[in-house]
Amino acid sequence: MTPLAWRKSNRSTNQGGECVEVAAFSDCIRMRDSKDPHGGHLALAPAQFAALVRRLKDAH
């Protein structure tokens, strides 16, 4: 299995901030806490992930 290519915002710093990392998998988008990369992750269908991002942007 190919390792996932995890990404985080280019606005993130390496100063221990609270960041969410995302990785595209075959049929889902996975999210995890950058402070605990070996912990659990959340898997969302692409449409669910897009809806989440829209809601977060609207709330901000």
- pLDDT tens-digit series, residues 8-19: 877 776 676 678
**Residue 14 domain-assigned (yes or no):** no
Does position 33 have pLDDT exceeding 80, yes or no? Answer: yes
The encoded tokens of residue 29 equal: 């988008």
- Report the chain's mean pLDDT, rounded to a whole number: 86
* Domain tally, the chain: 1
**Residue 4 domain-assigned (yes or no):** no
The encoded tokens of residue 40 equal: 């659990």
Does position 41 have pLDDT exceeding 70, yes or no? Answer: yes
Average pLDDT over residues 49-60: 92
- Per the structure, the complete domain to which residue 50 belongs is given by 20-59
Contacts for 30 with CB less than 8 Å, ≥ 6 apart: 4, 22, 23, 24, 41, 42, 43, 44
- pTM beyond 0.95: no
CA distances for 36 relative to 16, 20, 43, angstroms: 11, 10, 16
**Residue 10 domain-assigned (yes or no):** no
pLDDT at 60: 73
**Residue 48 domain-assigned (yes or no):** yes
